[in-house]
Amino acid sequence: MIAETPDGGVVLVRRRFPPPGWALPGGFVEAGESAAAAARREFREETGLPVDLVELFHVYADPARDPRGPTLSAVFIGRASGVPAGADDAAEARVFPLDALPSPVAFDHALILSDYRRYRRDGSRPPPDR
């Protein structure tokens, strides 16, 4: 989930469990749950904030994107406001400007955020094989 904030930042969480680093809030779909419902639930669990989904940005499915094993991520763009607080799988949650992201960034989330910056700049979406 790429959650935009009113000041133009995005919400990231510092992972509590390996692999270490900062990441976009997210998680796994539970049985009987839609991808959109899972995105909203995971975001609230990890940040304490509600989020309004705006659009489905892209699907990332490179088999090497997660060192724990193959995963597929349906990345939504949403809007959130308030002060995030890390909970559940997140040791910490903060808002960062796109031009001042923390390091390290886990998984392929640096690529996702780079694609998102380009999308906001010129409207171009990533290629389907990402």
Write the CATH number for 81. Answer: 3.90.79.10
Structural domain of residue 59, as residue ranges? 2-122
In total, how many domains does the chain have? 1
Beta bridge mates, 95: 11
Assess whether pLDDT exceeds 90 at residue 51: yes
Among 42, 46, 55, 92, the active-site one is: 92
59 falls within a domain:
yes
Reported confidence tier of residue 129, pLDDT bands at 50, 70, 90: confident
Is residue 30 among the annotated active site residues? Answer: no
Assess whether pLDDT exceeds 90 at residue 130: no
> What is the mean pLDDT of the segment spanning 11-34?
96
39 falls within a domain:
yes
- The mean pLDDT value of the chain amounts to 96
Closest CA to 60 of 9, 107, 13: 107
> What is the mean pLDDT of the segment spanning 48-57?
98
DSSP letter string, 79-121: E--S-----TTEEEEEEEETTS--S-B-TTHHHHHHHHHHHHH
Which pTM was predicted? 0.94
Backbone phi and psi for residue 13, each to the nearest 5 degrees, phi listed first: -120, 145
For the chain, report the end-to-end CA distance as a whole number of angstroms: 16
